[in-house]
A and B are shown apart, each in its own frame.
Chain A
């Protein structure tokens, strides 16, 4: 393809170089070539110095900065929630141990003992309520590895789970809350609003493997995003283990961070890019899950969408199925898991941002191009057009002197041409005059010639008549003498003899032969003497006789 383009370009150059073009076309083609080469060079340099990718780099820097700030915030906030959860767990452990001691029970005694479980809930309710009030969360819970009915079909955990009902912001005062999980009596006793998805106890699969999460002395676990049963919500949980007096894990407690709370609490302070989505992502069982927030962008689309992340240049590409986003990710460790903090914008916004950043460069290039074209037109107007006009004037033989090009060399050239032209014209005039005279003379000569020819023809006729008539009268000896001595004539004499035969008069012969009349007379005298004639008339008579004889001889031959 490149080769093809190279050949195409070469063909174009060859075409410009070799083909015959008008001056204007050649000029325009050269200028366009120069502009194209200049722009290509400029683009190459801009690309080399990274000016063309400026938007990409700038966006990358902004996202990096926001990611760093946001990661710190997330780490700080989750750590804070974990600290509250650890404190919550310690309070619960103290309360549980106290309750067990007071009632002379061990933890196993709680199983299938609804009364003891209810009384324990009564003891722990205030701790749960107060911790929910002070912690940055959308709900608080504790769940113990015990149940009021171990024989029930579903394996259940007993505990209390309180949830806020209406979240307008993470700081809204007078937040209403409900009992989502907990004994009916606990709800009634504390005059609680029951959640419409309320149940006595939690299914074990809701807090899947929660008691086996705390290996290697992990202080807390931040879970993946899970759907909260019987609600429209999804949430992450901060889990902290609850230990008994022998340091065995007997349950978990912690806080719920539902998607709405995450959206409200983790809303970024800086959103200079606009429509930026921030997320906390992690992988569990090969599946990505995440919570998202944004100042202005709609994030609900992503909350349940299966998505994947791939790399693209400096950026991460987030494929949500319904949307594709571009951004940055950073790995952070929260609890016992690694999470990806992400900052992203949609592909469309990315494209728009890049286009906007490149627009100025392209505008400059456009201005340069427009300027170059204008300059080309200007040059054409100022240099090519006057020359063409002059040439046209030359073609149409108009006066060249009126319109000056203001270009010294060109004006000098045309002045020189004009001068030369004038000289040629005057010469032409002279020649024309000479020609005219020559023509007149030729006409006259022709007329004289025709007259002479007529005379000659007349004379010739006469001679012929005379020769026929006077043949007998001619002295034979004289004629023979004439024939014999004809060869004795000198070249000049013979030439004059021939001119006489052509019918020229003495004046004409002198002129043609370029001799004076006296010289002619001298030649005549010699001719007469050598040929034995006494007059020109006799000379012409003998000559005509000879011609007649010569022609007869030629015919006979």
Chain B
């Protein structure tokens, strides 16, 4: 009888052991995968290298561990800011926040820090020590690492060498002239005249231009959470820009530079290293005539030869904290995977970005000559120069930084566009070019200060 009782106890014990194992949810389970939705900015409308990497993750580590990263949206950084803000505030028509998203640090405030996963709860100190220090510091909000760097970029100057050479042949302008902002603005105006009214260049971020321009003079563009425009330093960088834009050398329309390259509306632009992804290989004219072009990238133009500087930028990876611990853990697994040396280099070299770990960084520059695409090889040569000689500044974080940046961009375009329009009209009516230009430049400075104060 004892044996029977013992047997029953054993059966009950084994059964309860099995049920205990069953009830304890595993973090990852290939038979019961956890799906993470992601909105990201790497690719926009054209190809998406990040999607390629995500597919790679899903078919390897994701499949093995039961993690599915599902790309729901590939968009621009400004669009993602608005979408995230709408979602976080439950705006009508807004979507549910994704599990993962890539965005600039400014978004943490829009979404709410308390809703975001702190990566340092999952990554060990040793793991985090492998990331490039200045990149990872950007993601800290107090003690919490809310934004994990996965790819970083800087700003460079892109030139349509084919069309520039045509222009250069007939004018005295050369590539050397456009290494500084002064030279760039002068060349832009020459091009405007030479081309019969076409813009030479587009500056994608006037906010970055202003920030770096003032940093090189030892002045802060942002003070106490507000734009600091009432000073000589700002005047010094504004006037040449305004003069050139009012004259017509700079494109003041919103939108992608790549589309304007494609139509030959502009032949250069200042933009992110990641813009290399969108560089067209030909210009299409309205009659469908297509001209193959060669593009080059050059270091960010200098404000001052002694203080070469640019921004280091790039969105990072955020995860929305979930009550389902499996999702949080899965987010960590994916974040770790995408920043592993091999995967990170594979991703960034397809997209014109920089890796985020010191080892990967060194390896990339040692092997950059093996990059097949000439535009990309040229870009990494340029980045190599800049990382050697330039001071790279991260953008300051402050309350409503996102809105401030966005409205500054709009205001600069608005003020200068209006001034350019006035300039054209007044010159057409016979007024003296130089005096009108000076007057409008002065007026535009006052106007930008006035609007920005609001």
Contacts and interface: CB of A to CB of B under 8 A. Distances in A.
Interface of A: 114, 147-149, 152-154, 156, 163, 165-169, 171-174, 176, 178, 183-185, 193-201, 230-232, 260, 264, 275, 296-301, 322, 348-349, 352, 370, 373-374, 377-378, 381
B20 interface: no
B83 A200 contact: no
Contact of A171 (B30, B72, B75, B93): B93
B8 A232 contact: no
Contacts of B284: 199-200
Contacts, number: 128
Given A152-B288, A165-B75, A166-B75, 13 more contacts: A165-B79, A166-B73, A166-B74, A168-B39, A173-B92, A194-B255, A196-B46, A230-B46, A297-B35, A297-B68, A300-B54, A349-B31, A381-B4
Interface stretch (B258-266, B383-391, B429-437): B258-266
B58 A378 contact: no
Interface string B29-41: 0110101000100
Given A377-B7, A378-B4, A300 B263 contact: no
A230 B279 CA distance: 12
B175 interface: no
A148 B75 contact: no
Interface string B10-25: 0100000000000000
A184 B263 contact: yes
Q: In this complex, which of B3, B258, B286 has the most chain A Cβ atoms within 10 angstroms of its Cβ?
A: B286
A226 to B, nearest CB: 16
Contact of B286 (A114, A163, A166, A198): A114
A196 B258 contact: yes
Top 6 A-B residue pairs of the complex, sorted by shortest distance between their CB atoms:
A173-B93, A194-B259, A298-B68, A168-B95, A166-B75, A149-B288
14 contacts: A152-B289, A168-B39, A173-B92, A173-B93, A183-B286, A194-B260, A195-B45, A196-B259, A200-B286, A200-B288, A232-B47, A298-B62, A374-B7, A377-B7
Q: Is the interface of B mostly helix, strand, loop or mixed?
A: mixed
Contacts of B255: 193-194
Contacts of A163: 45
Interface of B: 1, 3-4, 7-8, 11, 30-31, 33, 35, 39, 43-48, 51, 54-55, 58-59, 62, 68-76, 79, 83, 92-95, 254-256, 258-260, 262-263, 278, 284, 286-290
A148 B286 contact: yes
B95 to A, nearest CB: 4
B83 A166 contact: yes
B289 A232 contact: no
A195 B4 contact: no
Contacts of A373: 7
A40 to B, nearest CB: 23
Contacts of A147: 288
Contact of B256 (A156, A184, A194, A322): A194
Nearest to B71: A300
B289 A149 contact: yes
B271 to A, nearest CB: 12
A300 B287 contact: no
Given A152-B289, A200-B284, A231-B47, A195 B259 contact: yes
Contacts of A352: 31
Given A165-B45, A297-B35, A352-B31, A381 B288 contact: no
Nearest to A299: B70
A298 B83 contact: no
A193 B260 CA distance: 11
A18 B284 CA distance: 97
B59 A301 contact: yes
Given A173-B93, A196-B256, A184 B45 contact: no
B48 A167 contact: no
Nearest to A322: B59
A491 B75 CA distance: 146
Contacts of A260: 72-73
Nearest to B80: A166
A171 B92 CA distance: 11
Nearest to A153: B290
A120 to B, nearest CB: 15
B359 to A, nearest CB: 30
Contacts of A349: 31
A550 to B, nearest CB: 85
Contacts of A381: 1, 3-4
Contacts of B58: 298, 300-301
A300 B258 CA distance: 28
B3 A377 contact: yes
Given A298-B33, A298-B35, A298-B58, A198 B4 contact: no
A348 B92 contact: no
Contacts of A184: 263, 286
A273 to B, nearest CB: 13
B99 to A, nearest CB: 12
B30 to A, nearest CB: 7
A168 B93 CA distance: 10
Nearest to A382: B1
Contacts of B62: 298
A65 to B, nearest CB: 23
A335 B184 CA distance: 57
Contact of B79 (A171, A176, A348, A370): A176
Nearest to B256: A196
Contacts of B3: 377, 381
B429 to A, nearest CB: 25
Given A149-B288, A199-B284, A200-B284, A172 B45 contact: no
A251 to B, nearest CB: 17
A312 B185 CA distance: 70
B340 to A, nearest CB: 21
Contacts of A171: 93
* Residue from B74, B259, B290 with most neighbouring chain A CB atoms (10 Å): B259
B37 to A, nearest CB: 10
Most chain B C-beta atoms within 10 Å of own C-beta, residue among A148, A169, A200, A264: A200
Nearest to B2: A381
Nearest to B46: A196
Given A166-B83, A169-B95, A232-B43, A298 B69 contact: yes
A370 B33 contact: no
Contacts of A172: 93-95
Contacts of B287: 114, 148-149, 152
Contacts of A297: 33, 35, 68
B30 A298 contact: no
Contact of B46 (A197, A374, A377): A197
Contacts of B69: 298
B74 A232 contact: yes
A373 B39 CA distance: 59
A322 B54 CA distance: 15
Given A149-B288, A168-B95, A377-B7, A196 B45 contact: yes
A378 B4 CA distance: 8
Contacts of B254: 193
Most A CB atoms within 10 A — which of B51, B68, B288?
B288
